[in-house]
Structure 1
Amino acid sequence: MQKTYKTGPHAGRQSQGMSTQTSADQRPVRFDTKIAVLLRDDLETWQRLNVTAFLVSGLGTQLPEVVGEPYIDADDTPYLPMFRQPVLVFEGGKEVLTAAHGRALQRGLPRAVFTADLFATGNDTDNRAAVRAVPTADLDLVGIAVYGPRNAVDKALKGARMHG
């Protein structure tokens, strides 16, 4: 299966979905910012997918600069806009996630969190209440999403590895 991010062993390969090349000159685009998701490495596949979807939804609602223009196909059928740049997905142990969360807070990076408690809730109100009930240092994090300057995101995610 082809990976959708543009780093690692498939760096030269382009996906049919999200391109990192400009249409004018075909040179790779290097974004000054990075969207990254860090998942705890003991999650089941369905949990990884669910957590990733929830986390990135938070970024798009609060950071309009991460969202591109709407899509339109050749038949003029409109589609919703998506992120203007790739979302890189990383994984790490509980300690890596906790440390990355602390560094993201210290750097003031926009972030979203998903805790283990959210697997037991069924709606947004209960989700927010579950996070609100736990002090920052005690959150049982299973995933975070961060956005910001590339180097700041890289430093926040130090120790994490690309999700594979």
Structure 2
Amino acid sequence: MTFPTKIAVLLRDDLAVWQRLNVTAFVVSGIAGTQPELLGADYADADGTPYLPMFGQPVLVFEGGPAVLAAAHARAVQRGLACAVFTEELFKTGNDEDNRAAVRAVASAELNLAGMAVHGPKNAVDKILKGARLHG
């Protein structure tokens, strides 16, 4: 099945495994929280135990160096695609208010990005991710 849109996460390639997982969890929550139409129906097992819905399409995870991440972020902003960002400073904060303050304190072009998530038309997201490679 093909989808007209793409959900993608781009991670900085020098992050520790726990950081990659943490960043991914945080940035995809921004997509899910603002675009609930991307969520499928609730799940249930054979016993009828209910589970929360998840995205109805794949989430592709990419990686790249700091320059690739900065370029992807700039292209997303230029194209007007909303994205979620996770900066290096957020590894040192402990709550949402401090997280938002840490991002607000830095100009867009100067953000020290650890990762980002973006959703949009497939072709647009592919262009934003130019230079990134699938996480492996």
Superposed, which structure 2 residues align to 1:11-160 within 5 Å? Answer: 29-160=1-132
User: How far apart in 2 are the matches of 1:162 and 1:76?
Assistant: 36
- Indicate the SS of the match to 1:145: strand
Runs of 4+ with deviation above 2 angstroms:
none
Residue type at the aligned position of 1:135: A
Give me the identity figure in percent. Answer: 71
C-alpha deviation, 1:72, in angstroms: 1.1
SS at match of 2:3: coil
| Structure 1 residue 68 displacement after superposition | 0.8
TM-fit CA distance, 1:76: 1.0
- Write out per-residue CA displacement over residues 18-51 of structure 1, whole angstroms, 9 at most, x where no aligned residue: xxxxxxxxxxx10110000000001000000000
Unaligned runs of 5+ in 1: 1-28
Q: Aligned partners of 1:141, 1:66: CA distance in 2, in Å?
A: 25
Q: Which has the larger radius of gyration?
A: 1
Deviations 1:75-133 (Å, cap 9, x if unpaired)? 11110000011110000000000000000111111210000000000111100010011
Compare the two structures and name the one with the higher helix fraction: 2
CA–CA distance in 1 between the matches of 2:93 and 2:27?
16
User: Normalized against structure 2, the TM-score is what?
Assistant: 0.98
The structure where strand makes up a greater share of residues is 2
